[in-house]
Structure formats: structure tokens, C-alpha cells
Chains A and B, each alone.
Chain A
Amino acid sequence: MTDTAVPTSAAGNPIGFGRMLRKEDVRFVRGKGHYIDDVNLPGMLHGAILRSPHAHARIISIDTSAAEAHPKVHAVITGAVLDTLGLAWMPTMSYDTQAVLATDKVRFHGQEVAFVIADDRYSARDALELIDVDYEVLDPVMDAKRALDDGAPIIRDDKDGQTDNHIFDWEAGDAAATDAVFASAEVIVKQEMLYPRSHPAPMETCGTVADMNPLSGKLTLYSNTQAPHAHRTVYAMVAGLPEHQIQVICPDIGGGFGNKVPIYPGYVCSIVGSIVTKRPVKWVEDRSENLMSTGFARDYHMKGEIAATKDGKILGLKVDVLADHGAFNATAQPTKYPAGFFHIFTGSYDYGAAHCKVSGVYTNKAPGGVAYACSFRVTEAVYLVERIVDCLADELGMDPAELRMKNLLRPEQFPYTTPTGWEYDSGDYPRALQLALDIAGYADLRKEQADKRERGELMGIGISFFTEGVGAGPRKHMDILGLGMADGCDLRIHPTGKAQIRLSVQSQGQGHETTFAQIVAHELGIPPEDIQVINGDTDNTPFGLGTYGSRSTPVSGAAAAVVSQRVREKAKIIAATALECSVDDLEWELGRWQVKGDPDQGKTIQELALLAHSNLELPEGVEGHLDAQAVYNPPNLTYPFGAYICVVDVDPGTGHVQVRRFIAVDDCGPRINPMIVEGQVHGGLVDGIGMALMEVIAFDKDGTNLGGSYMDYLLPTPMEVPSFELGETVTPSPHHPLGVKGVGESATVGSPAAVVNAVVDALKPYNIRHADMPLTPAQVWMTMQGKTLRTDLAFED
């Protein structure tokens, strides 16, 4: 249903904001999407990667002769080959280095060792088994808590001066002021918690098709990256290829969730392979490769402390984090912030003081760290604060809803500067929490819970309130590898009034072809079906940093509004010329400039488009055509927020958790397409339930990754999630031209704490205050026995 205030196009779509079916779904639901593995070029060869079976081992020798002798193999590339080209190592997005193909040691199970190029994928894979690698196995570091022990094996002995596994220490907030608050606090609650390593697990795995033209020297790289422009620049910097000779083309992308932000060794190998063989080379990883070697998420060991008065006024919060970054520090986040936006951990409450310290360490695990819809570590931050607030409620014997309501920031406090320096743009938090409580029927739920406890049944109610910061930059504070986080946008109105808008951001399924058309429609009155949204080709779109961290709508959405407004202003001059009046005499009525007081005198945007390209004589200094460009540098992040309530039933005999209800009230400002927003929320809630109940990349003591297939790395199905109950409040962002805020990650960020809080609440009769995710039946039952498990390392008998 379309908002009644918004006019409807001939095709039945809202000319502006409102519900409409996604334009891209015409091809997606018919199986006509065109993904990386659908890219097939004449003469194309196929690559496959040999991976390390060990977590930590020295490479003694690699014998590729048998593989090279395979009749269908064209080339075998090893680290030694790459070394001769200066490409054995590449820079990461955190100013570290990462092996493209291992030369000295392998540092995680699944690391890239050799690349075979053959006529077809099967032969390439067959030839991997003909490569003989002699390893000297070394002790691995699998527990981040042991990484800094004296005598721990040194993982990065390739780095000059690296004598331990330490990467960085980073702090935010005021330590002295926080200590002072804690020194005089009536109540202090401490809780250690792990946000385990998880995987983004997009349906489509990562891949590239590299096509280096040996004559022109131009590299065309088909790649399912979330950041095509940033990748182009990085390839130019890494490989020394001239940037104007690199074209990155993104076909349709089957999900990203941060997994498709990094540059992976396979991409570089496919480029080298195309240079070596002078033919296009495709490399698409298989499912196990995706799960074992590509960008993971989380892996934060957090020690939180919260201080409060006896009657529940929160005074301060401090956190000490041990961050497991794997074997190479390859997290992708703004340069200034090695822990991402974790220092938003104060959450949605009013504090005296707060402080966090984060230490990053190397372990023998795959690199990555910022992925899976985490908003640059806001996920970990929200989990920490929402869990520890529940611990405080438990300590005080207070209802967790009441404790939150008492401490939430009040509407009149916005814009609000947090103790760690964020400036929250807008919010009405109590209204959102109250709405969630009303939808849930909170008082009745508590009564039902009390009745069930009498009968020995375990029912839990969990609340989470989150604030996110999304839409990086501003560019003066935020860059990746020196590239400022601002995004360009081009809009062209064709003579017949149809439009094309070109974006720097890259859809992975979020519905950009619809949302951005609706933004232009909202500003110009052109029906969304008459607007083509173009992304995914660096030769044909403006520069920008790409889609991750919920930044498309906050940044590129603003750019789209700005270019549309520029076109509208130019159309006004053309209208004044055609109507022979002053621009000051014109007023805008959606899709039309008309004379004030004489609305019959006017020109539609379509008429103006034709006039702009016609022989109409334009005023001095006004050029023809109806196009505009913009680069949007956001003045601040946008701060969406929400209140989530989860209801669970726990089987006391088996520890099995069933999520019975999930209520999600989100405030992301005005909703451009409410259906797409609800879809984002639904997906994020499923993610969050998965994280809370079943997802973890665990390792055994030898360093073997135990999550290498979907039989081992569990994702939730519709059977594990309830029918969601959504609500919304609308608090516009004061600085975004459309008032909108990003929403792509809200539900993933906000929901895990609600689920865990609900399960812990259910276990109250067992005097449980915390259990680490994932809350598998085993973890819940063992927790009930007072033997809660370490979930990130394999169980030992």
C-alpha cells in the first residue's frame, strides 16, 4: 500500500517514498540474475587454490612438477613465482601485510599456498592433488587469551621487529574520570563475555574473472566486490597497474554482509594468472573455501564493568577488549579506528564517564574481523552494553525494562555527545522502548512467566535497546587506506524525461535499483519506473567507497538527493525561460515548475527535459541539457536506534531454546520503501537469532577450522525463527537531506543481545547471570549445571 500523500505513477508505483515491489526482482525471482559465475569469456581458463591443511607450519618445499604435467593445466603459480613479481605479499586495509600465496610459513588452516590454472574447474581441482608440499608443523596459537603469553609461538616472524603476537592497543574515553566514578559507586557489576567468531556466509561465494588484454594493457576485472572503486585504486597501488587501465565490473551480487569488502588472494592470483596465460582467468571459491578463509566477523573477548547507584542510575562503564584478528590484520574500517566504532559501547544511556581499551592480537586463524553486518564493531559494542545492563538489573533486582527506561537518553538531550566523543544526531528512545513494550504486552508476559516458573517451566523475556552510528564519513575523520569516505553520484535526464542515475555504492541485494529510483522520484516527480539506477562498473560510475556499514542511504542516498535538487534548480531556470517569467515567480509542485498564483502556467519535468535539449535560447551562462553531479561528504554519521524484545521457551530437560516471539521497533527516520526496510529488519533478526543460538567458527587444539561446511557452520532456517512483530517510530536525521538513516545492519546489531538476555532470563531459577553465544542446547544445559562452555574452542573430553 502506498502512502496516500504520495501520488502514484501509471505503473502503480509511488512517485516518491512508499511501498513498491523491487525493480530488480523481475530478474532475481525468475532466475535471471547475472552473477560472477555466470561471467564466461571466450578462451577463459579456471583457477583453483591449494590451501594449507595446517594452522601453523613452515614450508620446506613445494613440488609442482606433477601438476604442471597434467594435460589440462596451463600454469601453476606459487608464492615463489609471485615473489619474483613483488606480489607474494599485499597490503591489507589496516596497513598490515597479508600473504597472497605463502612463501615462508602457513599461518592458518585454509591459507592459500598455490594457484593452478587449467582448462576447466574440475581439472584445476584435480591438479591440486598433484602438488606436493613438505611442511614442518609448528605449534599454533588458537586461543587469543594465550597469544601474548611468554613463549607463545610468534606468528608474524616475517615482520621486522615483531617479537610477539601483539598488533595494537587503542583507547577511547576518559580513564581517570571513569575510575573516579567507579571509586565512589554504590554498585559495580563485572561480566566477561565473548562475541564468538562468526561468518557472513553470503549465499554467493567470492570470485573474480580477470581479463588482461595483452595488447592494450587494460585489465577488465569482473568481481563481486562491495567496493568496486576502492578496489580499483588498491589494485593500482598494489600491482602497479595504471588506474585508468583498470575497469572493475560487478555483476549481480548474491549477498555480501561485509564478506565482499576485502581483496582476497584469489583475486590477485586470477589477475596474475591472466597476465601469465594471456587469457581470461576465472576464480570462484567453493563453499568450504568461503567459510574457512574469507573475512570472518567478531571474535571479541570483552571484560565489562558497569557502575550504578543502588536505585539504578547508571554512572559509568568500562570495557577491556582482547580482539582476535587472526594471522594478518586485515580488518577494513576507517583508519583512525583500529577497533572500528566499538567506542560507541556506551549505547543508548546517559553516563557520567566511560572508557574502553582494545588490544588486537594475532592468532593462527583466518584474517578479517569486520564483516557480517556489524557496522564496524557496533555489534560487539551493543552486545556488551545490553548484556551488562541486564547483569546490573539482575544485581539490583530491578526489572530490565524499568532499568533501561530510567537511564535512556531523553529526547531533549539531542544532539548528544557521548563520553567517547560521538555526536548522536537525533532520537526519542523512551517512545521506541514504550512502543515495543506495548506491542509485546510486557506486563502480561511477566505474569505468564511467573505462572510458568511456579510449574517449573522456563520462559524468558529479553530486551535490547541499540543505537548505531552508520554512514561513514565525514571524510576528514574517516578514510580507508587514505581514501576519504565520501561518495559521488551522477544524474542525467534524457530528452524524453527518463533518467539514469549512477552510483558509487554497490548493491548486493539490498534493492538499490528501487530505493535510489524512489529518491530521484521523490525529488523530481519522475516515476520510479522511468529511472534506471546504474552501479557496478568503475568506467561508468563516479568514484566512492562502496556499500558496507549501512552507508549507502546515509551517504549515496544523500548524494542522490543533492544531484536531484541540482537538476530541479536547473529545470527551474529552463522553466522560467520557457514561461518567460522570473525564477522567483515559480513554485515547485511535485514533478512540475509552475507560476505562483497561476498554477495552469507551468512545465513538467519531462517537458523541461526536452526543452533543456532543444533550441530554446537559454540565459547567458546557462548550459543546455539536464544533468548534475555531486560528491557527498556527510557532516556526521546517522544514528538509527531501536527497541527489541525476545520471548523464548527453554526445555529444562534438553536445553533446547525456542524463540517464540520477537518484537522489533526500529527508528531509521523516514522510510523510503517500507517494504525494503522491513525486509532488511527481517533478515537481520534471523542473523541475530543465528548468532545467539548456533553460529560459531570454532577450532580444535591443532588449529583445524571446524566450520568448513553448512553442516558444521549452522545458519538458522525458518523453523528457528518466529513470525516477526515489527513497529516503527520516525525521528528524522537533522543533517541528512532526506532525514533518513541507514538500516541495513540495525537488526543484526540489536537482536543477539535480546535473544541472549531472554535465555539468561529464562534460566533465572538456576542463578545464571551469563552464558556465551552460541546458546546451543549443549551450552544451555551445561550452563544450567554450572559448567558453561568455552564456545570458540573445541570441546575436550
Chain B
Amino acid sequence: MQTPAPFGYERATSVDHAIQLLEQLGPEARLVAGGHSLLPMMKIRLAQPEHLIDINPLAAELGSISIDGDSLVIGAMTRHNDLLASPLVGEHFPILQDAERVIADPVVRNRGTVGGSLCQADPAEDLSAALSALHATATIRGSSGSRSVPVRELHVGPYETVVGDAEILTEIRVPIRNGCGSAYEKVERRVGDWAIASAAAVVWMDGGIITDAGVGLAAVGADHFVSPAAEAALRGQQPTEDVIVAAAAAAAAECNPSTDQRGPAEYKRHLAGELTARALRRAVARAQGGQ
């Protein structure tokens, strides 16, 4: 049994209450949703928050998946497993279900939340890459109101986001545009492990031309989880194998992986390219009506 350090516990009853508690308890207070990142870190005392504010009572308020105008709206408290099971998500953005299938394991997916994953900001976090590739935006709320931030500007570094000490991520909005195809590819040492490397690919096509693209990368030191060079290599092009290979090469060149127990930087850079190419091929096939 592992033993966390002492901490206080509060239970938020609404988003406003959670924000009020954050303001009241100060920067050493942490929100806990699914708890599957925070609690393990507390158990080995890598994290020692003074207070936990439990936002699980907000699951109803923040846990729905819906269409609002031309956006798919995913509440921050949406459990991974609900994202995986949602027909609405599968219809519009199969990339999110590709990613969810390889996030941790069913036990974690049953409790872990989309917002928790994004705010944990682990450099190998899958949804950060997928939602960045989708050009999604995050809604962040504080006592003075809500603001909207592109997901690709949400992360400012490993384990760091722009969400303030007294703010809460409330929802993710993913724009729905015609001709979209998306896919996610990941290599892990063992099922449930963090990625050695992963790639998210999204293309929007019109008349056989890629009109816009999103390429996300996780675990390979890509700034903001994306490869703008790969996206630029795709825009305005026909999705030929040469174009895909060139975009993949751009992604591999642009990222900045580091050597660790999951593998040497050289291997991870190779994977960034290989997985970008594989994801792009599937994304294009999906945009063109295949699976």
C-alpha cells in the first residue's frame, strides 16, 4: 500500500462552487476528476497538493457530448469510455475513438476524463495530439467569465497549461467541416503504456484536394503537439503517396524527441514519420468514404 501525504478534501457542487473553492484555497489546491494521473502521483508523493477539490459531482453539468451549431461539444468531465462509445463522435471524428482505444485500459477509461487528460498535459498525452490536429478549442472558465483558447495553445510545456490557478476547463469544441477524414496511430511498449510515439492526422478534402490539414504528434517533443510543417506540406495538394511521405518526413524533421526508456531519439523520430504516414493514409481513405 502506498501512502500519500496529508491533504484536505472539498467536494464541489457546481462549476461556480469549484471556482470559488479554487480562489479560496489558493494555488496548492488541485481539482480531481478521474484522478488517474493525480492520485498515482500523490501515492508516490511526487504530487503533494494541500487540498483536493473533487469535481465528480459536476459530471452531469460538464459530461455531455452534443452538437452545437457547426461544432461537436465535448464536456470536460466526459469519461474516456463515453467518448469511445459515442456514435456522434464516431460519425464525425473517428480519430478520437482511434485514440481512446489505445488510451490506458478500461479501468482508467471508465473514470478518467477528457478535461483531466488535457490539463494533466503529459507530453505523451494522446487526446492533446488528436484535438490539436482537429483544430479544436478549449473553453476555460473563471470567476470573471469564460474564454476560448485553441487546444494548440493550451499547453505551454510539459505538465503546464494556460489554465489559471482559479480556472477550470469546461468544454472542448471541435469544428465540423465537410470532407473530413481523421485517424490516429500509436506505438506503445505494452498495451496501456504511454506512447513511445503517436501521430494524429486530419484532412479536409474538396474535389480530390486537401484544403486543410491537421497533424498532431505526442511523446516526441513537438511544440504544442503539432507539426505545422507537415500541415503546410499537405494543404492544397492531392493526397498522393509522395505528398504523404513528404508530409511525414516534415513531421519527423520538425519534432524534437528525447532518449529515454521507451527508446532512443533516433527511433522516436523515425516513428514520428512512419506513424504520420500511416495515419494520413487512413485519414485520406476515410475522407474519401472508406474506413
Q: Which residues of A contact B (CB under 8 A)?
A: 37, 48, 121-122, 125-126, 284, 286-288, 653-656, 693-694, 698, 706, 709, 711-712, 714, 716-717, 719-720, 776-778, 781-782, 787, 789, 794-797
Contacts and interface: CB of A to CB of B under 8 A. Distances in A.
A288 B2 contact: yes
Interface string B1-27: 111011000000000000000000000
| Residue among A122, A284, A709, A778 having the largest count of chain B Cβ atoms under 10 Å | A778
Nearest to B265: A797
B227 to A, nearest CB: 18
B274 interface: yes
A656 B193 CA distance: 14
B259 A714 contact: no
A320 to B, nearest CB: 29
Given A778-B196, A778-B267, 20 more contacts: A121-B1, A121-B3, A122-B3, A284-B1, A654-B271, A694-B189, A706-B261, A716-B190, A717-B192, A777-B187, A777-B196, A781-B263, A782-B263, A782-B267, A794-B260, A794-B261, A795-B260, A796-B259, A797-B258, A797-B265
Interface string B182-198: 00000101111110100
Contacts of A787: 266
Nearest to B262: A778
Interface in B244-264: 258-264
Contact of A795 (B2, B3, B264, B278): B264
A720 B259 CA distance: 24
Interface in B193-228: 193-194, 196
A337 B44 CA distance: 39
Nearest to B43: A286
B274 A709 contact: no
A48 B192 CA distance: 31
A125 B278 contact: no
Given A653-B274, A795-B261, A781 B190 contact: no
A122 B190 contact: no
Contact of B187 (A286, A288, A654, A797): A654
A778 B190 contact: no
B263 A719 contact: no
Contacts of B135: none
Contacts of B266: 782, 787
A286 B2 contact: yes
| Residue among A288, A656, A777, A787 having the largest count of chain B Cβ atoms under 10 Å | A777
B5 A126 contact: yes
Interface in B264-286: 264-267, 270-271, 274-275, 278
A232 to B, nearest CB: 27
A711 B194 CA distance: 9
Nearest to B192: A717
Interface residues of B, number: 31
B214 to A, nearest CB: 22
A714 B193 contact: yes
A712 B106 CA distance: 19
A711 B3 contact: no
B137 to A, nearest CB: 31
A284 B3 CA distance: 12
Nearest to B196: A777
A716 B189 CA distance: 10
A656 B187 contact: yes
A719 B102 CA distance: 12
Contacts of A714: 189-190, 193
Q: Is the interface of B mostly helix, strand, loop or mixed?
A: loop
B264 A789 contact: yes
| Residue among B2, B261, B271 having the largest count of chain A Cβ atoms under 10 Å | B261
Contacts of A655: 267
Contact of B263 (A694, A795, A796): A795
A471 B1 CA distance: 34
A213 B5 CA distance: 33
Contacts of A776: 189, 262-263
Nearest to B3: A125
A693 B193 CA distance: 14
A716 B193 CA distance: 11
Contacts of A709: 44
Contacts of B260: 794-795
Nearest to A37: B1
| Residue among B40, B44, B190, B192 having the largest count of chain A Cβ atoms under 10 Å | B190
Contacts of A284: 1
A724 B180 CA distance: 42
A612 B168 CA distance: 79
Contacts of A797: 258-259, 264-265
A108 to B, nearest CB: 19
Contacts of B196: 777-778
Contacts of A121: 1, 3
| Residue among A48, A288, A655, A794 having the largest count of chain B Cβ atoms under 10 Å | A655
20 contacts: A121-B1, A126-B5, A126-B6, A286-B2, A288-B44, A654-B187, A654-B275, A694-B190, A709-B44, A714-B189, A714-B190, A717-B191, A719-B190, A777-B267, A778-B196, A781-B263, A782-B267, A794-B261, A795-B260, A795-B264
Contact of A711 (B2, B193, B278): B193
Contacts of B264: 778, 782, 789, 795, 797
A694 B192 CA distance: 13
A207 to B, nearest CB: 10
Contacts of A778: 196, 262-264, 267
B261 A717 contact: no
Given A122-B3, A126-B5, A706-B261, A720 B193 contact: no
A121 B4 CA distance: 10
B102 to A, nearest CB: 11
Contacts of A48: 3
A654 B261 contact: no
A709 B192 CA distance: 14
B204 to A, nearest CB: 26
Contacts of B190: 693-694, 714, 716-717, 719-720
A795 B187 contact: no
A719 B262 contact: no
A74 B55 CA distance: 38
A694 B188 CA distance: 11
Nearest to B261: A706
A284 B1 CA distance: 8
Contacts of A719: 190-191
A781 B270 contact: yes
A797 B266 CA distance: 9
A705 to B, nearest CB: 12
B6 A122 contact: yes
Contact of A286 (B1, B40, B105, B270): B1
A719 B190 CA distance: 8
- Name the 9 nearest CB pairs between A and B, nearest first: A778-B263, A719-B191, A125-B3, A795-B259, A286-B2, A797-B259, A653-B274, A654-B187, A778-B267
Contact of B261 (A286, A698, A781): A698
A782 B105 CA distance: 28
Contacts of B278: 653
A774 to B, nearest CB: 9
A471 B230 CA distance: 62
A459 B275 CA distance: 21
A653 to B, nearest CB: 5
A681 B280 CA distance: 43
A782 B196 CA distance: 14
Contacts of B191: 717, 719-720
B259 A777 contact: no
A623 B44 CA distance: 62
| Residue among B191, B194, B264, B275 having the largest count of chain A Cβ atoms under 10 Å | B264
A600 B182 CA distance: 81
Contacts of B267: 655, 777-778, 781-782
A714 B191 CA distance: 10
Nearest to B264: A795
Nearest to B278: A653
Interface string B157-200: 00000000000000000000000000000010111111010000
